[in-house]
Chain A
Amino acid sequence: MITIDNLYKRFGALEVLKGVSLSIEKGKTAVIIGPSGSGKTTLLRCLNLLEMPDKGTISLGNKTLNVTAGTRLKQAEIVSFRKQTGMVFQSYNLFPHLTAVENVMEGQVIVLKRSKDDARKKALSLLEKVGLRDRADMYPFQLSGGQQQRVGIARAMAIDPEVLLFDEPTSALDPELVGEVLKVMKDLANEGRTMVVVTHEMKFANEAADQIIFMDGGVVVEQGTPNEVFNATRNPRTLQFLNKVSER
């Protein structure tokens, strides 16, 4: 489903991704962990081209993108690649001038050109799925952080992406609201959605992930099943990181 080969990205003098390679199978949930600044967000944003990589290959769904120094993509190419992904942001980024259901309809109506009726039906069923059917007509400012983030998940799913990308979806939430969002994500993982999740929630990673990807210093240091990485790793960098996290 997703294959990344030798991906590079730099911001000015700072090289953030230094040859990242990995692959994620269809229907699996991959959780990316790693210290702050290791390039997790950047990698995720390269996957939907919010960040244009400098070099490397990304295959996603039925599209393959081969980027080299001279690559200049047209907007239409970027959009058609990006449409295969849905993204959930750390700070939700709901559209404040639209109600919950309108937030979930927007991409369907404007991008996929669905009729408003169809879009509304689908949006309501997605809101049902994230437990917010009764909040459909509320504006984001009327919702709690956890509810906003669940609308964010519904919005991302509404365009029927092949892959859902999550960048620390619970980091901005009050502790008591984290659970409701993780539960929705777990349900999606169990349903066989393909998901790539950057998170510091190790319990979620352990329970929901099929694959753990540990990044450090702009490369993938280790990847494997949760058991392989959390319980059986011999890699000193992984061990050091896991120790630090468990101290918290």
Chain B
Amino acid sequence: MFGEERTERIIGILSESFFPILMAGLQYTIPLTLITFTLGLILAFFTAAARISGFMPLVLLTRFYVWIFRGTPLLVQLFIIFYGLPSVGVTLSPFAAAVIVFTLNKGAYSSEIIRAAILSISKGQWEAAYSIGMTKSQALKRIVLPQAVRVSLPPLGNSFISLVKDTSLAATITVTELFQKGQQIAAVTYEPLWLYIEVAFFYLIFSTVLSYFQARLEIRYGRGIAK
């Protein structure tokens, strides 16, 4: 397909870019994923709890929040926070802006997953919990949530894995994560095909590792379920 010289050049570029791209992944992509997933989950949990609380002001507030963040593109949300907010005096570092936007976005989506999981637990479970004297919050925490977690693990895991890939959007607000790094190197070496394949390879590795942990967690929370 290519001359020997071209092949050698490509191999050289790929091996030289290997560590810079990997480092970008370890420095930005992975932390961004882990931090926003953790914060997003916490936010999602409280949002879901607020929505099933039946307390109207909280219900309305959280519905509004979910409506906004599910109804607008992630890219636009990033631009508003990073490029838009400075005009009203709020300037954020690229990384901080990415964390905030991804967290809010993930929180909105995941809260719907968690809420659906909670609602999928039968009324009989609540009533059995009440019948042994539990309060609503005890029933939620001890009986309903552990079962809801199991129900929501597969969809949450999928959304976690898609988050790894979504973090590439942070490149558009100048976070030098994996994809941005690949872009930079491609721009100076004129080998976009091979560099982007290399970038794709790293995403594949990262998401494969995460899928593995997801499967482990699902087994752990599968307690009490017929296989």
Contacts and interface: CB of A to CB of B under 8 A. Distances in A.
A97 B147 contact: yes
Contacts of A139: 223-225
Contact of A111 (B134, B136, B225): B134
B223 A50 contact: no
A110 B134 contact: yes
A50 B130 contact: yes
A107 B150 contact: no
Interface residues on A, range: 20 to 34
B133 A82 contact: yes
Contacts of A95: 125, 128-129, 143
Given A82-B130, A96-B147, A91 B135 contact: no
Contacts, number: 72
A93 B132 CA distance: 12
Contact of B131 (A91, A112, A140, A156): A156
B16 interface: no
A97 B150 contact: yes
B146 interface: yes
Contacts of B146: 97
B138 interface: yes
Contact of A75 (B122, B136, B147): B136
A107 B136 contact: no
Nearest to A50: B127
Interface string A147-159: 0000000011011
Given A75-B135, A111-B132, A93 B224 contact: no
A155 B130 contact: no
Given A95-B125, A97-B147, A110 B130 contact: no
Given A91-B124, A96-B147, A141 B224 contact: yes
B133 A79 contact: yes
Nearest to B149: A97
B142 interface: yes
A87 B133 CA distance: 10
A239 interface: no
B226 interface: yes
Q: Point out which of B128, B134, B138, B143 has the most chain A C-beta atoms below 10 A from its C-beta.
A: B128
A29 interface: no
Given A97-B147, A98-B224, A141-B224, A50 B131 contact: yes
A141 B225 CA distance: 7
Nearest to A138: B224
Contacts of A75: 135-136
Q: Point out which of B127, B131, B138, B225 has the most chain A C-beta atoms below 10 A from its C-beta.
A: B131
A110 B142 contact: yes
Contacts of B125: 93, 95
B138 A111 contact: yes
Shortest 5 CB-CB distances between A and B: which pairs? A107-B132, A93-B128, A111-B133, A87-B131, A93-B124
8 contacts: A50-B127, A79-B134, A86-B132, A87-B128, A93-B124, A107-B134, A110-B142, A159-B133
